[in-house]
Amino acid sequence: MSTTPLSLPASIPTVRVHGRYLGPDGRPLAGTVTFSAPSMLTFPAADLFIAGPVVATLDELGTFSIALPATDAPNMNPSGWAYLVKENLSGVIGGRTFAALLPKNVPDVDLADIAPADPTTPNYVPVPGPKGDPGSVDSVNGKHGPNVVLDADSVGALPKWGGTLTGELNMSGPAGSYRTLNFQTGNVERWVYQVDNGAESGGDAGSNFELSNWSDAGAWKSSVIYGERSTGNVGIGTSSLTPNAKVTVRGPTSLILPTGSVERPLTVSAVDKPGVNLMEVRYTGSVRFAAGNVYADKGIRIGDATADLGGGSGLLALKDASPAPTAASAGASLLYSEGGILKVRQGNNSVITLGRGIADGSLATGQYAGQYRDGTSGLWRWDGSAWQLIGGWQSYTPTWGGLTALGSSTFSGRYRVLGKTVTAVAWLSWGTGSSLGTGNITVSLPMAAADPGVSPLGWQGTGRHVDGSNPWKSLLPDVERAATVATVFAVKPADGGWYSPGALGYLWGASGASMRIQVTYEAA
């Protein structure tokens, strides 16, 4: 394939370079031959810049032909340079790279005439020209001939294999260009260690460091390590750095601590707060925030990540404790979930269930006499040994007196206390052998009545008498001050006087007969 400049001025002399590549079996090879000049050639007389490599592609016969500016063109800047020739042939391992001069007085050059026969020899610049007289090299760099053999050390070069570099290795290039050290397999990049082509626009910008990994096909994959020259900030897995962050990491990150690590292998501190660890990740897996609070915009989950926030935000989610605490923690209270119910085990080992009233039969032990708690059936008070329902009804066994005989009669009672107010209910059901008589009927109180010392202070209640066949009749219980019993009267309709039930002829001697009274009074 022939490549010619489209319109180079006539003042710039050119040299036609051509060549042919065949395989050992005579088949034409495929590939390219690249000719690279210095980054920029200036021709002041022609008002022209020429830059960039020229790539000649082999045709179907394995040949190429290309016209290039002569290396000794007049008034060219720079001068005294040579083309860098790189062969890249398909199926050929170890393509050559060598230098070549193309002077204007040799306008046609076959590349085979100037290419080095042994690519392992030190770099030299072949010059096309007429064959000279036979001769020999007698001395080079202090080594004497006639057959002088130079190694890399003879010319201050690095050897192709092995060797030791004892000084600096400088790779210099213009700003905005890559300066690269490649690690290859079969001439294909695997790792590239380089300074990138970022422009040096001032403020120490540009020429940033990058270590990148490449695919089997020789394609760039990612920035494994990236360093920003202006700040010294580092990216791992990314070249897009977070502003003001010393290290930016893209992707999951794992910190694996070796056996025997210190108690606090990872700490976060501030320069202006010496001696204070703002955060500690401990060898046990614990995390401690020593000098601040913990903030979570959405929620905090305790137990494991399956504790659902229920679609809410600003929440604390507790996974059911497994197992739940069975003992108190000295000087602390334990908050936990059990069966989805929030509970607190206090320092005295009592357990409080939050979010509902406490069941009557499952009240926690009180801490002192006179402590009150709300239960499902009302207000409770701890009396030092048990919880007592405030104003709750309680049973008591009243003593009925004044009857001629009780026989097999049955009786019972209920009362409640609210502060100093007592309400009592007592009843008596007739039984075989029981007779009423005409004496005053009395019934004992659950608590003695108060004695304010003022007469005739007392309390009256209400009641009813049933004889089993006739209409019900009224009863009137009376409690005098300091009394322990209530006297049960009947009211005579004619004059409203109070009499004993028997004196007014109340019947008492049949199944179904009963008396019941209710009275409210002040307790002693």
Q: What is the dihedral of CA 305, 310, 316, 318, to 10 degrees?
A: -60
Residue 342 and residue 302 in contact, taking contact as beta carbons nearer than 8 Å: no
pLDDT of residue 36: 94
Neighbours of 260 (CB within 10 A): 6
Q: What is the DSSP letter of 298?
A: S
Handedness of CA 187, 189, 191, 196 (dihedral sign): positive
Instruction: For 491-520, write each residue's pLDDT tens digit.
Output: 999 999 999 999 999 999 888 999 999 999
**Residue 24 — left, alpha, or beta (φ > 0 → left; ψ -120 to 50 → alpha)?**
alpha
Fold agreement (14-113, 392-522): yes
Q: How far is CA 405 from the centre of its chain?
A: 84
Q: Which two tokens stand for residue 268?
A: 């976060």
Instruction: Please report the pLDDT score of residue 146 as a whole number.
Output: 67
One-letter amino acid identity for 460? Answer: Q
What are the b/e assignments for 270-303, b being 16+ CB within 10 Å? eeeeeeebebbbeeeeeeeeeeeeeeeeeeebee
Residue 289 contacts by C-beta under 8 Å, 6 or more apart in sequence? 278, 279
Longest dimension (CA), the chain: 171
For 90-96, the CB contacts below 8 A with 24+ separation are 90/29, 90/30, 90/31, 91/23, 91/29, 92/29, 92/31, 93/186, 93/187, 94/119, 94/187, 95/187
pLDDT of the residue at 360: 46
**Using CA atoms, how far apart are residues 482 and 523, in angstroms rounded to an integer?**
9
What pLDDT, on a 0 to 100 scale, did the predictor assign at position 356?
Answer: 47
Spell out the domain ranges in the chain.
Answer: 14-113, 177-250, 392-522
Q: Residues 390, 394, 400, 406: what is their CA dihedral angle, to the nearest 10 degrees?
A: 170
- CB distance 285 to 294 below 8 Å: no
What amino acid occupies position 292? G
Contact 149, 143 (CB under 8 A): yes
Radius of gyration of the CA atoms of the chain, in A:
56
Residue 292 token pair: 């601040």
Asked if 384 and 410 count as a contact pair (C-beta separation under 8 A), the reply is: no
What pLDDT, on a 0 to 100 scale, did the predictor assign at position 358?
Answer: 46
Distance CA 478, CA 488 (A): 6
Which overall architecture, per CATH, does domain 392-522 show? Sandwich (2.60)
Question: 115-137 burial, b for 16+ CB within 10 Å, e for fewer?
Answer: bbeeeeeeeeebebeeeeeeeee
Residue 168 per-residue DSSP state:
-
Q: Are 226 and 212 contacting, i.e. CB atoms less than 8 angstroms apart?
A: no
Q: Residue 403: which residues within 8 A CB-CB, separation 6 or more?
A: 434, 435, 436, 437, 439, 441, 508
312: left (phi over 0), alpha (psi -120 to 50) or beta: beta
Domain 14-113: state its class: mainly beta
CA distance 116 to 95: 12
| Whole-number Å distance between alpha carbons of 488 and 518 | 10
Q: Which residues contact 11 (CB under 8 A, 6 or more apart)?
A: 43, 45, 46
Rounded to an integer, what distance in angstroms lies between the CA atom of residue 319 and that of residue 301?
A: 8
Give every residue of the chain whose pLDDT is below 50, as ranges.
Answer: 5, 122, 356-361
Under DSSP, the state recorded for 368 is: S
Residue at 1: amino acid letter: M
- ∠ CA(287), CA(292), CA(296), 5° rounding? 70
Both structure tokens of 500: 């004993």
